[in-house]
Structure 1
Amino acid sequence: MDAKLPPFDSYSAALQQPLVLGTAFVSVGVFVSWYALWHVQGWATTDKQRAYVLSLLSSLLTTLGSIPLVYEISMNGWNLESIIAERWWTVVLSTFFATFLFLDLAIGVAFYRKRIDPLTGWIHHTVYMFTLAWVLKNRLASLFITMCSLEAPTFLLALGSIDSKLRHDYTFAVFFVSTRIMFHAYMIFATYLCPSITIGTTVALCVFFPLHCYWFYGFIQQQIRLSKKRKENPVVKAEKREPVNFRAEVAVPPEFTSPSTRVAARLSMPRLSKDDQLRLRRRLADLTARPLLNHMPDRFRNSSIDHMVNRFAGSSNVAVPAY
């Protein structure tokens, strides 16, 4: 752990640290490569998904970075004096987060402009960038990364926005209340009591706290709307059906066991007596051939055609009647 050092004399001195400049340069490459990978692979196809690609990486790393600091506070009676000293890696993560804020706006203008909200986008990110400059100047990077536990709900939100299957509203609500409401409120109280932390830090935490309450109010309103919508349009559950056994054995009659018998069965007709056959042939002749012959011009009609029809009807000596 580095010893507690006095604040920098100016913002330029704080921002021109080799560690800050180097981290910013590397962070730009990391974020641009990360977004390009998602864009080229087609993993994020909608504006909503693209808007959370950078947030997914940033919130994951900053949340993980806050865990050892929160753990250290808890092991020291929740005394902020144990983590107030600046660490080099907290400076790196703070710069990494500041780079994310800038690139989220820069890349967003090109790829998901409609998803950049004036309040939660332009104003929020701009204010946070100036706040981080103030944090680096006053060597409060460790305290800031401790507060990055508030990024846990952002990580869950990013996951659910990129893949709806990973969206769990109540899990998000639990993390939001426990971090952005309860833990944030505690940190306001703890910084006020900590003698090594100026009142300006407490004021800064107080400024952001109402925004988190406003976001949670919006979340509650969203859940109320969704609940009403589900009640108005209930989903009808499909009736449970017995599974179909596609391998069930079917009893086949013996007469259909060979190809020859199957063909014979299809071609076989009921046996008729000779009288019935004669009546059927006469009926067919009366309904088809004879009406056609009666409408045939005389130049095409001859005795051979009449004789053929009569033979089919079984009455070769009967002339074709006129209809």
Structure 2
Amino acid sequence: MFDVSIEDAIPPAFLYSFLALIVAYHVFAPLCSTVKQRSWILTTISSAAMSLSSLPLFFHYVSSWGDLRGMRSTFWTESTGRFFQAYLIADLLMGVVYYRSKINLLTGWIHHTIYTVIVGYTSHMGWSHLFTLCAVMEVPTFILAIASLNPRFRSDIIFALSFFATRIVLHVFLCASMVVSRHNVTNDSYGPGILMACIFPLHAFWFYGCLKGFVKRAKSAKPQPVKQGTVTASPSPSEFTSIRARSWTLPRRRGSLRQAVRAWDRLGLRTAAGRFGDVQRRLRASLPVAREQVYAYVGLEIPPSGEPQWTDAVMTESSASL
């Protein structure tokens, strides 16, 4: 009564692809250091395989100016669809086990489930060649996936251009071709055209999010307004050395100098009439006594504001010492 073979229930292409993807994940997972990287392993493999598989049909479509009548479903296109089915299920299975936090509702469970049904439907209707042709839209997915594995390969411009070229422009042309050529391609069925039309809003929404990301990053990259009196240019090496000398050497020297001068004045007052007064007077006679003279002696000058500053000679010497 139920004469259904295993090959019909589980096509060999699906089974072999599923096992190969599971093995590939466990081979490459130890090479990834984060959960995010591990969650992109199967997507990278799948998007690369699907993009390459679609190229012959894509070149035929472009060279024939959008004519779908010369395409037919083959073992290759059927196997490509089953491989994609295997990826969708393997990604959910590995996600539940190893990277559950990266499997969200929309782009994970809903997206994978819907596309598993779509692949089965197109295979059953004999339209696997149309699905394989549409797999060229996996090119931006591969660009995003490889950048997630290694940030050095990230290029927002290339991703945005590839997304716009395949999932917006090409998507519109494919949808129109499937409707116009339905008499000779899909036996008058609007099914492929309706599927393409239903998927397009999701691609448009993703591209809108991509553009919003560009605008947000552009705004955050604008230089902040500079307050009046602040220096915007980076100092040269000599200026940087001078700044360091002023910020570290001057406060210590100024404080020590002030303390020494004050102590000297107090010492002179206390000991002027003392036992060593005569020696002190001789010593003070040989050194500058007034504060202005002391500052000038060690290389300081007192501006009208009253705050001592280093002269050019002292600053040059301090900069050279650093």
Q: Same fold (TM over 0.5)?
A: yes
Do the aligned residues in 1 keep the contact of 2:53 with 2:132 (CA within 8 Å)?
Answer: yes
Q: What residue in structure 1 maps to residue 212 of structure 2?
A: 221
Do the aligned residues in 2 keep the contact of 1:15 with 1:133 (CA within 8 Å)?
Answer: no
2:36 paired with 1:48: yes
For residue 219 of structure 1, report the CA deviation from its aligned partner: 1.1
1:22 maps to a residue whose letter is P
Q: What residue in structure 2 maps to residue 258 of structure 1?
A: none
For residue 228 of structure 1, report the CA deviation from its aligned partner: 2.2
1:52 maps to a residue whose letter is W
Q: Deviations over 1:71-125 (max 9, x none)?
A: 1122323201111x11111111110001000111110111111111211111111
For residue 220 of structure 1, report the CA deviation from its aligned partner: 1.4
Do the aligned residues in 1 keep the contact of 2:50 with 2:80 (CA within 8 Å)?
Answer: yes
2:74 maps to a residue whose letter is R
2:85 paired with 1:78: no
| Structure-2 change in CA distance of 1:25 and 1:170 (3 Å) | same
| Structure-2 change in CA distance of 1:189 and 1:231 (3 Å) | same
| Structure number with larger C-alpha Rg | 1
Q: What is the distance in 2 between the residues matched to 1:86 and 1:17?
A: 17
Deviation beyond 6 Å, 4+ runs, structure 1: 12-15, 236-242
Q: What residue in structure 2 maps to residue 32 of structure 1?
A: 22
1:30 maps to a residue whose letter is A
Q: Deviations over 1:140-171 (max 9, x none)?
A: 11110100000000000001111111000000
Q: What is the distance in 1 between the residues matched to 2:192 and 2:45?
A: 27
Alignment of 1:29-178 (within 5 A): 29-40=19-30, 43-83=31-71, 85-178=72-165
For residue 226 of structure 1, report the CA deviation from its aligned partner: 1.8
2:222 maps to a residue whose letter is K
Q: What residue in structure 2 maps to residue 272 of structure 1?
A: none
TM-score by length of structure 1 reads: 0.65
| Structure-2 change in CA distance of 1:239 and 1:150 (3 Å) | farther
Q: What residue in structure 1 maps to residue 198 of structure 2?
A: 207
1:155 maps to a residue whose letter is F
Q: What is the distance in 1 between the residues matched to 2:160 and 2:224?
A: 24
| Structure-2 change in CA distance of 1:152 and 1:13 (3 Å) | farther
Q: What is the distance in 2 between the residues matched to 1:135 and 1:178?
A: 24
Q: Which ranges in structure 1 are unaligned for 5 or more consecutive residues?
A: 1-11, 243-323
Q: What residue in structure 2 maps to residue 263 of structure 1?
A: none
For residue 30 of structure 1, report the CA deviation from its aligned partner: 1.2
What is the aligned residue count?
226
For residue 14 of structure 1, report the CA deviation from its aligned partner: 11
2:43 maps to a residue whose letter is S
Aligned to 2:221, the other structure's residue is in SS state: helix
Q: What is the distance in 2 between the residues matched to 1:136 and 1:227?
A: 44
For residue 237 of structure 1, report the CA deviation from its aligned partner: 9.7
Alignment of 1:276-295 (within 5 A): none
2:192 maps to a residue whose letter is T
Q: Deviations over 1:276-308 (max 9, x none)?
A: xxxxxxxxxxxxxxxxxxxxxxxxxxxxxxxxx
2:210 maps to a residue whose letter is F
Q: What is the distance in 2 between the residues matched to 1:14 and 1:137?
A: 16
1:81 maps to a residue whose letter is R
Sequence identity (%) = 29
Q: Which ranges in structure 2 are unaligned for 5 or more consecutive residues?
A: 226-231, 239-322
Aligned to 2:65, the other structure's residue is in SS state: coil
2:15 maps to a residue whose letter is F
Q: Highest relative contact order (Cα 8 Å, sep 6+), 1 or 2?
A: 1
| Structure-2 change in CA distance of 1:45 and 1:193 (3 Å) | same
For residue 17 of structure 1, report the CA deviation from its aligned partner: 3.7
Q: What residue in structure 2 maps to residue 185 of structure 1?
A: 172
